Structure 1
Amino acid sequence: MIGLKEIAQIADVSISTVSNVLNGRKNVGQKTRERILKICEEHGYEINGAGKKSRADHNRTILFIFSDFDRDFYLKIIQGISDCLTENGFNLVVCTNKSSAEFMQGSFARGAICLDGSMSDEFLANVAASEMPLVLMDRVMEGVQGNAKSVIVDNYPVMCELVQALIDRGMKRFGYIGGLGYTLDNKERFAGFADTLSRNHLPFDQKYYYHGNYRENSGYQAAKLMLLSNDLPEVIVCANDNMALGAIKAFEEHRIRVPEDISVTGFDDSAIAAMAGLTTVAIPRYESGYLAAKKMLELIGGESRGQEPFKLGATVKWRSTVK
């Protein structure tokens, strides 16, 4: 599928110049305009006589759906999606779960990229069955064929790497603050955590498992509960940065030093995590958004059907919250 980027490269002009021609603006010279229109015709990019795209606008509109404003990495994902779609002549509409169902069921958009755990598998399966291309982020659905793809973080191996390195540093008593239990991220991250302890013959006491919801306050409350028990582990592994930062805040309020008295790790590598010196796992969020948009364009073009989920690698970032 040829897009604005390819047309611009062939014509040796900027993407904005191609966009101006296709939208009928008069700020482009006649020779350049004719050259661009000829390239579009030769490569099957349909336009009408006025220089406008002949397809309806919604046919080049992609939705990005998310539900949690509390996690700052969404901005990186949106930027990646936007850059890829813009390069290929598509528009992006960002919406939340309260409005997205209506947009997905009509003819408003050509496809949807979904990062919303509150949407049921049944609803998303119906969307995919309706011939709307669907890319799921951080989620895999069984039994959805053809019109849906997944882009996920490869959580398990990098969590194993993190926990093994902590064990190699001599740590034996671990705590864990988990996210929402039904999410793929939390399941894979805890599996990597628990399996690594087991391989090293280190028992994990369930009293050190605290349930959170990925928000900072849930990490803060979990740490407060740990403090009440008066039996802290050596290290707290958290399923994301927000909860790790909340836990550190609670420890600091009670004059528990990090990392001298207890080590803390997160997962995501948000901007605030770097500022706080948090040891964490860095996920390429911009790249994940770009790749999700690329998979969407492949689905629209009839490519990449029936393949396995695309897995993104991640890396451990060692900072000052681990001794």
Structure 2
Amino acid sequence: MCKKGGELNESANTKTLKPTMMDVAARADVSQATVSLILNGSPGAKFSQATRKKVFDAAQELGYRLVQRGPWQGTPSTNLVAFVVDEVVSDPWMALAFEGARQRALERGVSLMLSVCGSGFLEDDDLRQKYEQMQVIGYICGTILTREITPSPFLMKSPTVLVNCYDRKRRLPSVLPGDLEGGRTATQCLINSGRTRIGFINGQDGIDATSDRLRGYRQALASNDLTFDPDLVYGGNWEPQSGYDGTMKLLGLRTPPDAIFCANDMMAIGCYEALKSSGLRIPEDIAVVGFDNREIAQYMRPPLTTLVLPHYEIGATAVDQLLDIAAGLTPRHSQLKVECELIERDSV
């Protein structure tokens, strides 16, 4: 039987196994992607000092030594990766993913070319032929909303990694945010502060982030013997107005909440306005947690406790995945989840 850390029980017929990155991740209670990004010193990767210390301490305790990924060893004509997204304007997520991928690609001696293709990936014959003529290493395909896609036959024949989207049959590897665990972390943060009646303002139906964050919320309640009350859940649309409306509805309950988890920071802005207009103090009367760690969160009054949506890290991880595949290596996991780290500020 294996022990944590990759060591076998000592006997005459067993040997000590070298610790792996997965062992470090298990010891530090983080994802493999987080371990890789921290130990590789990726510029721009946003992790707290506490998380970095956990990873370095776990690696040292296990005696793990990082095997550095070297520069891409392809031919001079194959040092380009196509980064294809559906859109980059409405939210910053794909721009962040591209920046994370670009930085990691530079470290590996590879260039990235960004293309915005709307809802269909490489359905434009001219664009596809252009990439084929360039002899690209492969494709990273990303969506602004976390969702399922149906890969085209062209992508199925090419080295491809999906970012913020996935193929339900898992024929292509994907890298996604850990929304379920993020929802659980946000709710647990409020429970740890002594709150027992926690409202949840969620995003619109039909989106993976909406269902996953709700599942995480419910799991945290169940783990702490708190009863799920559907009256405490309000379906918003990610916009500040729905945060305001949802908060006013929650405050109108016979027993209003003592904490509110907003499924994104934009709805948390509306939540703040509703609480302040009702004469309630944050966090003395009601604690609030958001999600996404948008730039504005640190400037809210009080500064908002929230979770990072780790698209920079997701982009960097996707580059390593793609280059491994192009080198003939089989991904250890068909779907990687990058955890959404809690950023503790003054709203709890």
What TM-score, normalized by structure 2, do the two folds share? 0.66
Counterpart for residue 236 of structure 2: 212
Work out whether 1:113 is the aligned partner of 2:141.
yes
Question: What secondary structure does 2:234 align onto?
Answer: strand
Aligned position for 2:91: 71
C-alpha separation in 2, matches of 1:221 and 1:243: 9
Letter in 1 for 2:112: N
* 1:241-290 Cα deviation digits (max 9, x unpaired): 22222221233344333223221101222221122211112344322211
2:321 to 295, 314, 319: 295
| Greater Cα shift, 257-266 or 227-236 | 227-236
Taking the TM superposition and a 5 Å limit, the aligned residue runs for 1:233-252 are 233-252=257-276
Q: Number of aligned pairs?
A: 267
Aligned 8 A contact 1:171 1:235 in 2: yes
1:198–1:93 distance in 2 versus 1, CA, 3 Å: same
Pick closer, same or farther for the CA change 1:126–1:218 going to 2, 3 Å.
farther
What aligned pairs does 1:116-195 form with structure 2 within 5 A after superposition? 116-117=144-145, 121-122=149-150, 124=151, 126=153, 128-129=155-156, 131-145=157-171, 148-195=172-219
Aligned to 2:334: 308
Structure 1 runs, 4 residues or longer, greater than 6 Å off: none
User: Does the 8 Å contact 2:146/2:164 carry over to 1?
Assistant: no
**Change beyond 3 A, Cα 1:215–1:126:** farther
**Structure 2 CA distance for partners of 1:112 and 1:74, relative to 1, 3 Å:** closer
Q: What secondary structure sits across from 1:297 in the alignment?
A: helix
Q: Structure 2, unaligned stretches of length 5 or more?
A: 1-70, 132-137
Pair 119,74 (structure 1): closer, same or farther in 2 beyond 3 Å: closer
Q: Which amino acid aligns with 2:304?
A: L
Distance 1:166 1:143 in 2: 36
User: 1:52-71 to 2 correspondence within 5 Å?
Assistant: 53=77, 60-67=80-87, 69-71=89-91
Structure 1 Cα separation of the partners of residues 166 and 120 of structure 2: 23
Q: Which residue number corresponds to residue 100 of structure 2?
A: 80
- Structure 1 window deviating more from structure 2 (99-108 vs 310-319): it is 99-108
Q: Indicate the residue corresponding to 1:50 in structure 2.
A: none
Deviations 1:170-226 (A, max 9, x none): 211111111243333333322121012122221222122111233333323322433
| Residue 198 to residue 99, structure 1, CA distance change in 2 (3 Å) | closer
* Counterpart residue number, 1:102: 123
Instruction: In structure 2, give the amino acid aligned to 1:107.
Output: Q
C-alpha spacing 1:317/1:62, structure 2 compared with 1 (3 Å) = same
**TM-aligned CA distance change 1:73 to 1:271, over 3 Å:** farther
CA 1:205–1:61: 2 relative to 1, 3 Å:
same
Give the superposition deviation at 1:95. Answer: 1.4
Structure 1 length-normalised TM: 0.70
| Residue equivalent to 1:91 | 112
Bigger Rg, structure 1 or 2: 1
Q: Give unmatched runs, 5+ long, in structure 1.
A: 1-39, 47-52
Q: Which secondary structure state, in structure 1, belongs to the residue aligned with residue 116 of structure 2?
A: strand
SS of structure 2 residue aligned to 1:107: helix
Percent of aligned positions that are identical: 25
| Structure (1/2) with the larger helix percentage | 1
Give the SS at the match of 2:123.
Answer: helix
Q: What amino acid maps onto 1:292 in structure 2?
A: A
Amino acid at match of 2:196: K
Aligned residue for 1:8?
A: none
Question: What SS is found at the alignment partner of 1:138?
Answer: strand
The equivalent of 2:293 in structure 1 is 269
